[in-house]
Amino acid sequence: MKIRNGFVSNSSSSSFLVVWDKKPQSIKEVKEILFGNSKYHYYYDYQETTDRLSEIIFDDTEEASIEQIKDEYTPYYSYWGDKGTWYGKGFKIDNEDMVKYEILAENEHNLREQHRKFISSFTSAERLEFERKIKLNKVLENTYVLTTREKEWESSEEFLNKIETLRDTMNNLENDMSEKSAQKYLDKHKGKFISYYEYADDGGQSILEHGEVFSNLEHTRFSHH
């Protein structure tokens, strides 16, 4: 990922995947493709010469890696009502994988709800006291006899272990889906030159982030606000 100097951590930014017919060989070529004969490019109160914008974009024009494409086209999962639905950003993958992911996500969601209800059945005072006794018991090599209620609290770790296992499985599947989505994107644009850019509204780059400088080319913008 190429990030220009002047960015700050709390600045909004956007990344772009841009499809060129071929890699531009000069600033002049970038200017002709993106801006034609225009001398200036405008975004609200912002104004910049197309020569300067073309120079910045030309310097930043590198071939996008599969990892950059994969990071942008990551599957998203969201809950609406009580049923899980898989959402893909861009190029959706095989339905079989989506169904697997949906089932895993719904199971994880239900398990988290069970854990939340279980935890809420204990008062804050109980939690603190039970944690203290359980830790003390480990130090004393189980010489302290736990009450039934304390054993119930101790078993809450089983919920977390199951949730973590489900989450790991989901992450692995999500990574696999992302790779498949990215490959579909590459297959669609086979023979083209795909470049990746990231610009922030800090440091005078609002016009690059928001000014539709790539409007003459097929591109996708991802906002990172």
pTM of this prediction exceeds 0.75? no
Average pLDDT over residues 67-83: 64
- The number of helix segments (H) and strand segments (E) in the chain equals 8, 7
With beta carbons less than 8 A apart as the criterion, state whether 41 and 53 touch. yes
Q: What is the pLDDT of residue 7?
A: 38
Rounded-to-integer distance, Cα 220 and Cα 19, Å? 9
Q: What is the pLDDT of residues 7-62, one digit of tens each?
A: 334 568 899 999 999 999 999 999 999 999 999 999 988 899 999 999 999 999 99
Of the pLDDT bands very low, low, confident and very high (cuts 50, 70, 90), residue 100 is confident
DSSP strand pairing (83-87 vs 76-80): antiparallel
Q: What is the pLDDT of residue 29?
A: 98
CA distances from residue 152 to 144, 146, 157, 158, 193 in whole angstroms, order as listed: 15, 10, 10, 10, 59
Q: Where are the alpha helices (DSSP H) in 73-155?
A: 95-120, 124-139, 148-154
Q: Which two tokens stand for residue 137?
A: 């018991």
Q: What is the pLDDT of residue 168?
A: 94
Q: Please report, rounded to a whole number, the percentage of residues in the chain having pLDDT higher than 90.
A: 39
Length of the chain: 225
